[in-house]
Structure 1
Amino acid sequence: MENYLLTDATNSEIMDEFDVDPLCNPEHPSMVTFEDITSAAYKIRTGIIQTQCLKSHLSGMTGMDLYLKKEFLQTTGSFKDRGARYALLMLSKEQQQNGVIAASLGNHAQAISYHGNLLNIPVTVVMPLIAPIMKIQKCREMKANVIIQGKDMVEAKRVAIKMAQEKGLTYVNGYDHPHIIAGQGTIALEILEQVDNIDAIVVPTGGGGLLAGVIVAVKALNPNIKIIGVESERCASFTKAQESGKPTQTNIEGTLADGLAVPKVGYNAWATAKNHVDKMVVVQEEWIAVAILRLIELEKSVVEGAGACGLAAILAGQLDEFRGKRVVLILSGGNIDTTILGRCLERGLAADGRLVKFKATVSDRPGGISELCKLIGSIGVSIKDVIHERAWVTSDVFSVEVKVVCETRDYAHSLELRELLFANYKRVKFESLRSMKINNPDITSTISY
């Protein structure tokens, strides 16, 4: 296979050439209109699923009249189906015959592969080395030409644009192409039909395409509805753009919300949305993990980190001004890798105070560790793992340090465990996550363990 990867030795002017997306011009951005979105809604109506938007079981816990727009029920597992189908339908006959190319970590790649296959349009997707194997395989199953190149999305995009120029393919930006934005905006039209008297809609935000589409549709029909964007603290590119006054390259760290990990907001999305966002919220990773856990336990919905960001912001108390009001959360996708899901659930349990890890120094005489286990069991705490060591204990040779991982019913139960251990042992240390305020009417405290 021909290698299109641009190396560090590549001339910067050439790299700039391959950064150019013909439909995403920073000097002349395309503003998406309400008419574009209604056109998209008509054209894609038979090719996508009108997903449910139902009242949530989490309403009581959050103190809000909460509704969930379940976009993870789309055929490829995310809202990306909408924009991908509309962008493909709007191609000329010649462009459809030549084919399209896209760069994506997964959701956009799957959507454009699926709808390209349905519409008999050749599709090439460039996926970086960090793309999940499951998503790569799904694109291949949908008969896309999958190219794995680039260490991240920046390099994958350069590869895709270079191939588009050399092979006469149409490059489809997954979050900033005007037709992509218009297609994503159809979500808002459905929400407004499904739910009355909405006070706010909370939108996961990465490259800004979904946010821009929702803003155009909602503000045209009901400007009183607040539009709230939510980002992870590890990929807050829209917030960075707000601070700089323009789309700005942002350092991206590993995040549970990998679907939002876009290093720079799209120029078209920024121009369309920047003056109409009512609030941007940046959430901690721990709250995303808790939100994923809550959605599985209480809604029976498996949602990826990006889709859970809206609930994370509510659980973290960052949208308390909407208590008692009607709020819609867009659960944008459910394509979470099964191995990552397991880690997310454990991290969520830990952040929720239900999975607790501590060290305690106990007597090394016979029965010392047994007494600790009996003490823990006496209050109904379940022990998951016990490790002990003698060589690195600094107190005395008659003591042993025990590391214990255990499971509690809830945060209040973990506090009971703490108090019991501190009352019976001189040296106890709990593993500490970042302090997190619990958004629970029955518990007004802070996780700091």
Structure 2
Amino acid sequence: MYTNSPKMPELSEIQRAYEEIHDSIHVTPLLRSQTFSEMSGAHVYLKAENLQRAGSFKVRGATYKISRLSESERHKGVVAVSMGNHAQAVALAARSLGVQATIVMPEQAPLVKVMATRGYGAKVILHGATFKDAHEYALEFEARTGATLLHSFEDYDLITGQGTLGLEILEQFPDVEAIVVPIGGGGLISGVALAVKALRPDVRIIGVQAKGADAAKQSLQAGHIVVQSNVKTIADGICINAPGELTFAIMRKYVDEVVTVDDEEIMSAILLLLERSKLQVEAAGASGLAALLHPGLLDVAGKKVALVLTGGNIDTNVIGNFISHGLLVQGRITILRTFIEDRPGELKRLLTVIADQGANVRELNYCPTMQALPEQHIEVTLTLDTRDHEHIAQLLDTLHDRGYTASTVQVQPKPTPIVQ
């Protein structure tokens, strides 16, 4: 049983943090979504932290943390270990406050993230094959230089800074009834919960995790911190194997509920945000919408709900794959596998049936089958534009009626590799 009671930031400290960092951050918009309101039955507002400086909420906590350093500490600089939003936030916050930032990344860090972090003014050191290697080097760097090591979520001042997001939501949406926040290590939801519950204890604070990285939910259910040996999700921003002691204590006291969503739901949410709201949101940031649209997962029908879109730093190398898979999840693309006889006119006959059902062929693969079928048969795999899952079912029924053995091919999303 968890018995520690670490000191938690108070409302007055979060309010002071907001005054301290207000001129260094954007007051991000709170956007009402008619589409998502109709889809969910709730009154939905999107807190667009994907439009924040450096592309995520992280700059709030990083700015406040660095602002709290003494002159001596500032002179020695700061160091952090990250390949994502934390790296860019620390780099930008440090530059705005005139502090040298060093970011340690594993050697296999994507070049785009290295360049983005350097672009915000930080010195980037590539070291080791894993995050553990990079973290050990950062500890050595801290000991050697006296630089302050900035944790990505388990830090009192950083949590205080993240809490400013909660104050901002209440200013923009005073009658909000529920706030949905993605959870990785728990720094953001801890700060938001502390601020909101102090002013509006009736507001429900709901956390969302990916099913492949749900250590916070498991920890809250167990009553103690659970460390996952393996985490796997496309949502790299919330792919954390354990909450911190402070964040766990805060979540345990102030978070009302934590739910999980799968990667396919997250990818569908990314696509919906792009199409319906014209917002580019990373996988972690889209997880709240995924939870809202999962039938029966959240009890918020008729309620005023704020969804925190935590960041927009989605890797352009993978966004195309996410969109394609999101279309698959929604039934707007399907991959169909069937067999035809190897003789003139059979492919045309198949394509005519498909066209008559209103499906459009994107891609076609046509090759001799390697299965135990008569030699004169050919396997055909088609990628089709379809309307929805009902349309796909109608197409399959028609093909079966015409004598085809047809089935859809399931494609699994590829999680972002997280090397720890």
Q: Same fold (TM over 0.5)?
A: yes
Gaps of 5+ in 2: 413-420
Residue 38 (structure 1) aligned with residue 15 (structure 2): yes
What is aligned with 2:94? 116
Alpha-carbon RMSD across the aligned residues, in angstroms, is 1.7
What is aligned with 1:387? 365
Deviation of the 1:280 alpha carbon = 0.5
Q: Which amino acid aligns with 1:258?
A: D
Residue range with higher mean Cα deviation, 86-95 or 153-162:
153-162
Query: 5 Å matches for 1:284-433?
Result: 284-432=262-410
Q: TM-score, normalised by structure 1?
A: 0.88
2-side partners of 1:47 and 1:392: how far apart?
Answer: 62
SS in 1 for 2:163: helix
SS in 1 for 2:358: coil
2-side partners of 1:100 and 1:399: how far apart?
Answer: 66
1-side partners of 2:177 and 2:4: how far apart?
Answer: 35
2-side partners of 1:300 and 1:426: how far apart?
Answer: 40
Q: Pick closer, same or farther for the CA change 1:88–1:168 going to 2, 3 Å.
A: same
- Of residues 65, 70, 94, the one that matches 2:48 is 70
Q: Residue 338 of structure 2 contacts residue 407 of structure 2 at CA under 8 Å; is this kept in 1?
A: yes
Residue 53 (structure 1) aligned with residue 34 (structure 2): no
SS in 2 for 1:67: strand
1-side partners of 2:256 and 2:57: how far apart?
Answer: 22
Q: Residue 160 of structure 1 contacts residue 171 of structure 1 at CA under 8 Å; is this kept in 2?
A: yes
What is aligned with 1:208? 186
SS in 1 for 2:124: strand
SS in 2 for 1:44: helix
What is aligned with 1:89? 67
Deviation of the 1:272 alpha carbon = 1.8
The superposition leaves residues 401-426 of structure 1 with CA deviations (integer Å, 9 ceiling, x where unpaired) of 11111111222222222222222234
Q: Residue 106 of structure 1 contacts residue 127 of structure 1 at CA under 8 Å; is this kept in 2?
A: no
1-side partners of 2:27 and 2:387: how far apart?
Answer: 38
Q: Which amino acid aligns with 2:224?
A: K
Residue 246 (structure 1) aligned with residue 224 (structure 2): yes
Q: Residue 32 of structure 1 contacts residue 272 of structure 1 at CA under 8 Å; is this kept in 2?
A: no
Residue 280 (structure 1) aligned with residue 258 (structure 2): yes
Q: Residue 211 of structure 1 contacts residue 229 of structure 1 at CA under 8 Å; is this kept in 2?
A: yes
What is aligned with 2:115? 137
The superposition leaves residues 8-50 of structure 1 with CA deviations (integer Å, 9 ceiling, x where unpaired) of xxxxxxxxxxxxxxxxxx9673412212211110100100000
Q: Pick closer, same or farther for the CA change 1:147–1:307 going to 2, 3 Å.
A: same
Q: Pick closer, same or farther for the CA change 1:235–1:433 going to 2, 3 Å.
A: same
Report sequence identity in percent: 36
Deviation of the 1:109 alpha carbon = 0.6
Q: Residue 199 of structure 1 contacts residue 327 of structure 1 at CA under 8 Å; is this kept in 2?
A: yes
Residue range with higher mean Cα deviation, 406-415 or 377-386:
406-415
Q: Pick closer, same or farther for the CA change 1:155–1:31 going to 2, 3 Å.
A: farther
Q: Pick closer, same or farther for the CA change 1:28–1:62 going to 2, 3 Å.
A: closer
Q: Which amino acid aligns with 1:279?
A: E
Deviation of the 1:433 alpha carbon = 5.7
Q: Residue 358 of structure 1 contacts residue 430 of structure 1 at CA under 8 Å; is this kept in 2?
A: yes
Q: Which amino acid aligns with 1:40?
A: A
Q: Residue 105 of structure 1 contacts residue 153 of structure 1 at CA under 8 Å; is this kept in 2?
A: no
Q: Residue 150 of structure 1 contacts residue 156 of structure 1 at CA under 8 Å; is this kept in 2?
A: yes
Residue 128 (structure 1) aligned with residue 109 (structure 2): no
Q: Which amino acid aligns with 2:335?
A: K
2-side partners of 1:227 and 1:32: how far apart?
Answer: 17
Residue range with higher mean Cα deviation, 411-420 or 277-286:
411-420
Q: Pick closer, same or farther for the CA change 1:171–1:30 going to 2, 3 Å.
A: farther
Deviation of the 1:126 alpha carbon = 1.2
Deviation of the 1:352 alpha carbon = 1.0
Paired residues in the alignment total 409
Deviation of the 1:217 alpha carbon = 0.5
The superposition leaves residues 156-198 of structure 1 with CA deviations (integer Å, 9 ceiling, x where unpaired) of 3232223212221111111111111011110111111111321
SS in 1 for 2:254: coil
What is aligned with 1:174? 152
Gaps of 5+ in 1: 1-25, 435-449
Q: Residue 369 of structure 2 contacts residue 377 of structure 2 at CA under 8 Å; is this kept in 1?
A: no
Q: Residue 24 of structure 2 contacts residue 96 of structure 2 at CA under 8 Å; is this kept in 1?
A: no
2-side partners of 1:338 and 1:108: how far apart?
Answer: 18
Q: Which amino acid aligns with 2:26?
A: I
Residue range with higher mean Cα deviation, 277-286 or 423-432:
423-432
Q: TM-score, normalised by structure 2?
A: 0.93
Deviation of the 1:246 alpha carbon = 2.4
